[in-house]
Amino acid sequence: MINVQLRGDKRIREALRHAEGKLSDMGGLMRSLANLQYQSTVRNFEKESFDGEKWPELAESTQHSMITEGSERGAANILRPTGRHIFQRISQSSTRDEARVKCNQGWAFAHNFGIPMPQGWQMPQRTFLGISDEDEESIANAIDAYVERALSQ
């Protein structure tokens, strides 16, 4: 455990109070982080992968049903075959202390995490929401830049 005690140096206490005041409104940072994660999620759909791992291909039966439903895309655009696709339901929001990217399509979790289905088969995991190693680095850089800007004002 590290314990720091400041005795008598008024300048240090004032500098710390100043820093605390500058860093108390995190709304701008949270908007930035929500946008970073939203853009990362969009890239996951474009690349059909997460953290460098390609999504499993669609089953042949799924590809066939997509074509018979009028889609000419076949295996292209996994998770985006119809007007009700998951990608259209991705949104971002932020508050003073929270950054959020979510999908309000009820069955999206089944694709994101992969789950056993009642028919006896396994929905393959195709992660689109999450924080990758690259995202962690982007988030850390955004936080560093925010703190540096706030404290230099």
Question: Residues 67-94: pLDDT tens digits?
Answer: 655 545 444 577 776 556 788 899 999 9
The span from the CA of 29 to the CA of 150, in Å, is 10
β-strand 99-103 against 90-94: which pairing, if any? antiparallel
The span from the CA of 109 to the CA of 127, in Å, is 9
Residue 99 in this model has a pLDDT that exceeds 90? yes
CA–chain centroid gap for 44, Å, is: 10
CA–chain centroid gap for 59, Å, is: 27
Report if residue 94 sits inside a domain. Answer: yes
Report if residue 17 sits inside a domain. Answer: no
Report if residue 145 sits inside a domain. Answer: yes
Report if residue 10 sits inside a domain. Answer: no
Phi (first) and psi of residue 53, to 5 degrees = -105, 120
Q: How many alpha carbons fall within 13 Å on the CB side of residue 18?
A: 10
Report if residue 110 sits inside a domain. Answer: yes
Report if residue 16 sits inside a domain. Answer: no
Report if residue 29 sits inside a domain. Answer: yes
Report if residue 13 sits inside a domain. Answer: no
Question: For residue 33, what are the domain limits?
Answer: 23-152
| Mean pLDDT taken over the chain | 83
Domains in the chain, number = 1
Residue 9 in this model has a pLDDT that exceeds 60? yes
- pLDDT tens for each residue of 114-142: 999 888 888 899 999 999 999 999 999 99
Q: What pTM did the predictor assign?
A: 0.79
107 vs 63, more confident: 107
Among 105, 95, 101, 127, smallest CA distance to 114 is for 127
